[in-house]
Structure 1
Amino acid sequence: MSILAFDLGGSALKACLFEDSGRAVARARVDLGFDEPVPGWSEADPVRWWDALRNAVAVLVREAPPSVAGIQAISICGFTRTQVFLDGELNPVRPAIGFRDRRASDYGELMRVNAAGDDPDIDQLNGFHPLSRLLWLKEHEPENWRRIRYVLEPKDFLNLELTGIPISDEVSHYWLAKAFEGGQASLAARCGIDRAILPSLGRPHAVIGAISAAVSREMPFLKGATVVVGSNDTWSAVAGMSGLVPGRAYCVSGSSEVVGMICGREAHASGLATVRWGRDLWQLGGPGQNGSNTVDWANAVLRSNEAHAVCTRDTPQPLIFLPYLLGERTPFWDGDLRGALLGLEATTGASDIRQAVMEGVAYINRVVVERAESAAGHIASELRIGGGGARNARWNQVRADVLGRPVLASAEPETGLAGCLATAIAALGSDSPGDDLQSQPRFRRFDPSPDRQGRYDELYRLFGEAHEALAPISRQLAGMARRDSAQSIHSHKKGIL
């Protein structure tokens, strides 16, 4: 029997068929994306994700070796901070609101007004919080709001299509579930949101049930498979790197990055999310807005062969890059932050700028890790990194130098799928997925260079000063952009009328 794993990402759905031994025997990828109907909005039709899964299964059927006799379990992970709204018939009410969507920024203040004054998670009550999205929908789309029965995460929608059962996991739905704690005194209740929209929650390695009869008829390849609850892509990727160990820091480096540290007790730090990830396991960190997409942006803007070259200077030109091309979530939670590049000279080359862009993202990594270390009371032994960004050796060395910590880059290209495999194995018989994930995955180690430590400490200090100085200007520029956009829409409508 075999295990089928899916990783639903913002840009693609990836699938892998594993044999009992854990060896990958077939892979598939289906490209996806988000719609941006209004500046600052990010939406997707959940049906596209289901179509992508069906297309991926068709590829796996063609690619699977004859030795694959049947699928024993299916485990799915997916991006989070995205809301799928279902009606009473379990059909989507409207497009899902994506993790980069900034439309609900004003509702963060409403939540903070209703929150307890000593709430340790006050920084998380912002426009990216699931409750803020619900408040926006309730006010701006009342007809859709009245139709909502459940709010699910993206991978939950795929599990629903496979089994007919609406359920999520305790990790992915942590923030919305927490908003309902306390009954009538809960934050959600004070904001006028009923708990009925919250689905049942299980542990990531819990079993949902079997594939539905309708899906078995459409995709016989899946017949008889057991579907696992699964979790979000970050939890699964860290699990796939054997990172669910207190004292280890992690970075899941994709288009945007998720950075944090695993602790053996609950702790809180400004701007960081504290989420229970398992028995005696807590993560301090959270998702950012910028990562490989920032490097891609630099390459595209520079439009030069030199843009892709590694900086070869012994001492690259000192530049400070604030990587806020899409605002920033962790650790600043400010959608109005904007990017900046400081220190330009006539001799500045494309490779200098690209180096600065990589450094800017690494400085954000360091802010998160240092805040987590301070809250946890101990230093991270290492940072384990996976995802597309982990394949950039130069960037891994920059991170090690900036952080002053060893960086272990996973040799497994798809750590999320590896985590799904381990979760499925746990669901089939082990008490905890963490026990099954200590299979010593392969890593390439990058140690910090003592020769560069002092220089990066100085640049990191300047990065912090630049952030503080330019944040107010960023917010004013963002406000101007919104006014210009509103005036443009008004003028367009007036012209049509």
Structure 2
Amino acid sequence: MYLGVDIGTSGVKAVLVSETGAVVATAARELALSHPAPLWSEQDPDAWVDAAIGAVDVLAQHHPREVTQVRGIGLSGQMHGATLLGADGRPLRPAILWNDGRSHAECIELERRCPSLHAIAGNLAMPGFTAPKLLWVARHEPHIFERVAKVLLPKAYVRYRLTGEMAEDMSDAAGTLWLDVGRRSWSAELLKATGLDLHHMPRLVEGSNASAMLASEFAQRWGMAKDVVVAGGAGDNAASAIGLGAIAPGDAFLSLGTSGVVFRVTDRFAPAPASAVHAFCHALPGLWHQMGVMLSAAASLAWLAGVMETPTAALLAPLGERVEGPSPVKFLPYLDGERTPHNDAAASGAFVGLRAATGRSQIVQAVLEGVAFAARDNLAALSAAGGAIAELDLVGGGSRSPLWAQICADVLGIAVHRVEEGEVGAALGAARLGRLAATGDDPAQVCTRPRRLASFVPRASAVSAYDEAYRRWRELYPALKESL
């Protein structure tokens, strides 16, 4: 048995996976977000730990025999979160998350300090990344900055609490702007630009290699053996790729989670910062990936459900499984700013085209289409950076909706496939990395593709209408930028 734990933004998921690769059981715990000021997004690091322990507790309670057989554990997690630890190993402040936009000025300063940033890190300086957050802390909370002994990412903090070891995998480390992504090593030059050095960083390990052993107190708590291996793991999207079997150059998928991602595997470091495409290490040695990232995908629909005080399923039900054409309402899904292609943390969401006759279903449809249009922006950026993408597997919470899948196919103009276990992809990928670390198995034999549940192909009757709707939608951001 193998255990995968995914430290998400809205919750923690744990999944038990058998020797045959089947998902035996899952458990989840919710997490709360804090927004103490405009553009700020924070979480209590200890809440991740409590949620992770609680999720595994549930598995141990309901599946004790299977849990005792666990040989390897993998961790995946939300990327970029700045978890600042003092000399005693305790957090100095709440973690500053991936969707926090406060450090725009510090991004400009970082690029000024380090002209070689793009070449080394392979990415633009964006407020979501970790390094600008540390410049912000140094400027606005110097009493905190001077006490920082280590900077960990979310899953690395959970690993530290479960094992006593501070380590980070290459895929997550690539999202800090401190990694020499091509060489897969910390960059002293980039660290110096933020007033840090190598001593502030955890040691690096490949995602499929062992990083530590589970601490005896947790092995006893869950009835596991004393030699359970904890893998390096992966950032959430790289872990999802492992869960999808996306381990060959050209493999690609679309994630509709809290954030949204178009992801493509590459066999080399292939940066394209001019179009705000991310270039990161993959979770397996010798592989990298490109990503286009939108900051509010399924989160946009969840926001609308909250505003309308209506469950998401009830919002979607009146629309059925397909619509005949675009909504007359347009939605910009920039509730937390946007990365690809705009790199604008201050971008705002907007509805355009509302009239007295506008109904709820047209607004709901506009949100689904707005996210799909943003995904098309991402697809175009990746295509320009490395060639066309012919089809995409679909994962994340948004993958549950056949309606959304069909809208994505019609908007993107390519086939989209819903896959088995698409909602636990990151946790499944983490479990697979746990297996690789424990057994040394061949990744090609472990990281197999899931069964496709349904395929959605572009409908000729809808594609041309969505092409025109996308053209008009793209005019909104530049038109509204100065007024929002």
Same fold (TM over 0.5): yes
Match of 1:408 in 2: 417
- Aligned partner of 1:477 in structure 2 is none
Cα distance between partner residues in 2 of 1:75 and 1:303: 36
- How far the C-alpha of 1:191 sits from its partner, in A, is 4.1
Residue 251 of structure 1, CA deviation: 1.7
1:406-458, Cα deviation, whole Å (9 max, x unpaired) = 10112213111221122122223346635521244334211111221211111
**Residues 15, 431 of structure 2: 8 Å contact kept:** no
Superposed CA offset, 1:145-172 (max 9, x none) = 2221211111111111121110001110
Q: Is the 8 A contact 2:254 2:394 kept in 1?
A: yes
Q: Secondary structure of the equivalent of 2:482?
A: helix
For the Cα contact (< 8 Å) 2:206–2:285, is it kept in 1? Answer: no
1:117 to 1:469, Cα distance in 2 relative to 1, 3 A: farther
Distance 1:122 1:109 in 2: 16
Cα distance, 1:313 vs. partner? Answer: 6.2
Residue correspondence of structure 1 range 206-225 to structure 2 within 5 A: 206-221=209-224, 223-225=226-228
Distance 1:3 1:122 in 2: 34
**C-alpha separation in 1, matches of 2:222 and 2:285:** 36
CA distance in 2, matches of 1:111, 1:361: 30
- Cα drift, residue 347 of structure 1: 3.1
Alignment of 1:235-314 (within 5 A): 235-269=238-272, 270-277=275-282, 278-302=284-308, 308-310=317-319, 314=324
Amino acid at match of 1:251: L
Match of 1:441 among 428, 434, 451: 451
**Quick one: which amino acid aligns to residue 63 of structure 2?**
A
In the alignment, is the contact (CA less than 8 A) between 1:299 and 1:307 conserved in 2?
A: no
Give the CA deviation at 1:250: 1.6
Aligned length: 472
* Shift in Å, 1:190: 3.5
Q: CA deviation at 1:359?
A: 0.9
Counterpart of 1:176 in structure 2 is 177
Q: The residue matched to 1:326 in structure 2 has which SS? A: coil
Q: CA deviation at 1:142?
A: 1.9
Alignment partners' CA distance in 1, 2:432 and 2:482: 45
Stretches of structure 1 lacking an aligned partner (at least 5 in a row): 475-497
Q: Which residue of 2 aligns with 1:162?
A: 162
Question: C-alpha distance in 2, partners of 1:197/1:206?
Answer: 22
- The amino acid of 1:132's aligned partner reads P
For residue 355 of structure 1, the aligned residue among 357, 365, 370 is 365
- Which stretch of the first structure deviates more once superposed, 67-76 or 351-360? 67-76
2:407 pairs with one of 398, 405, 418: 398
Q: Is 1:192 the equivalent of 2:211?
A: no
Check conservation: 2:82, 2:130, Cα contact below 8 A.
Answer: yes
Bigger RCO of structures 1 and 2 (CA < 8 A, at least 6 apart): 2
Contact between 2:74 and 2:432, CA under 8 Å: does it hold in 1? Answer: no
Distance apart, 1:69 and its partner CA: 4.2
Instruction: Please report how far the alpha carbon of residue 303 of structure 1 lies from its aligned counterpart in structure 2 after TM superposition.
Output: 5.6
Relative to structure 1, the CA distance from residue 317 to residue 124 in structure 2 (aligned partners, 3 Å threshold; closer, same or farther) is same
Report the 3-state secondary structure (helix = DSSP H, G, I; strand = E; otherwise coil) of the residue aligned with 2:171: coil
Cα distance in 1 for residues equivalent to 2:281 and 2:96: 24
User: Which residue identity does 1:272 align to in structure 2?
Assistant: V
Indicate the RMSD between aligned Cα atoms, in angstroms. 2.6
2:384 to 374, 388, 401: 374
Partner of 1:472, secondary structure, is coil
C-alpha contact (below 8 Å) 1:390/1:396 kept by paired residues: yes
Shift of 1:242: 1.6
Distance of aligned partners of 1:431 and 1:23 in 2 relative to their CA distance in 1, 3 Å threshold: closer
Q: Assess if the C-alpha contact under 8 Å between 1:247 and 1:379 holds in 2.
A: no
Where does residue 133 of structure 2 map in the other structure? 133
Question: What's the CA shift for 1:319?
Answer: 3.0
What pairs up with 1:103-118 in 2 under 5 angstroms? 103-116=102-115
> What's the secondary structure of 1:106's corresponding residue?
helix
Shift of 1:111: 1.0
Q: How far apart, CA to CA, are the structure 1 residues paired with 2:396 and 2:70?
A: 26
| Alpha-carbon shift at residue 331 of structure 1 (Å) | 2.6
Shift of 1:473: 1.8
Contact 1:74–1:424 under 8 Å retained in 2: yes
Deviation, 1:375, is 1.4
CA displacement at 1:307 relative to structure 2? 6.3
Q: Using the alignment, how far apart are the partners of 1:380 and 1:398 within structure 2?
A: 17
* Contact 2:244–2:449 (8 Å) recurs in 1: no
Distance 1:101 1:313 in 2: 34
Q: Is residue 337–residue 346 contact of structure 2 (8 Å, CA) maintained in 1? A: yes
Aligned residue type for 2:172: S
- Deviates most, 188-197 or 40-49: 188-197
Contact 2:326–2:466 under 8 Å retained in 1: no
Aligned amino acid, residue 274 of structure 1: A
Q: Percent identity?
A: 30
Secondary structure of 1:159's aligned partner: helix
Contact 1:385–1:410 (Cα < 8 Å) also in 2: yes
Aligned-residue offset at 1:197? 0.9
Contact (CA 8 Å) 1:205, 1:432: kept in 2 or not? no
Secondary structure, aligned partner of 2:5: strand
Following the alignment from structure 2 to structure 1, what is the Cα–Cα distance between the partners of residues 45 and 150? 14
Q: Partner of 1:328 in structure 2?
A: 338
Residue 403 of structure 1 aligns to which amino acid in structure 2?
L
8 Å CA contact retained: 1:150, 1:197: yes
Shift of residue 183 of structure 1? 9.4
Gap regions ≥5 residues in structure 2: none
Aligned partner of 2:40 in structure 1 is 41
- What SS does structure 2 have at the residue aligned with 1:344? coil
Write the letter of the residue equivalent to 2:164: G
Match of 1:478 in 2: none
Report the CA distance between 1:90 and its aligned residue: 2.0
Cα distance in 2, alignment partners of residues 119 and 19 from structure 1 = 42
Q: Distance in 1 between matches of 2:4 and 2:193?
A: 40
Q: C-alpha deviations, 1:224-251, integer Å up to 9, x for none?
A: 3111111111111121112233223322
Structure 2 residue 149 is matched with structure 1 residue 144 = no
Structure 1 or 2, whichever has the larger Rg, is: 1
Report the Cα distance in structure 2 between the residues aligned to 1:6 and 1:395, rounded to whole angstroms: 27
- Which is worse superposed, 250-259 or 356-365? 250-259
Letter of the aligned partner of 2:7 in structure 1? L
8 A contact 2:330–2:352 mirrored in 1: yes
More off after superposition, 163-172 vs 65-74 = 65-74
State yes or no: 1:419 paired with 2:425: no
2:473 is matched with 463
Asked whether the 8 Å contact 2:41–2:96 carries over to 1, the reply is: yes
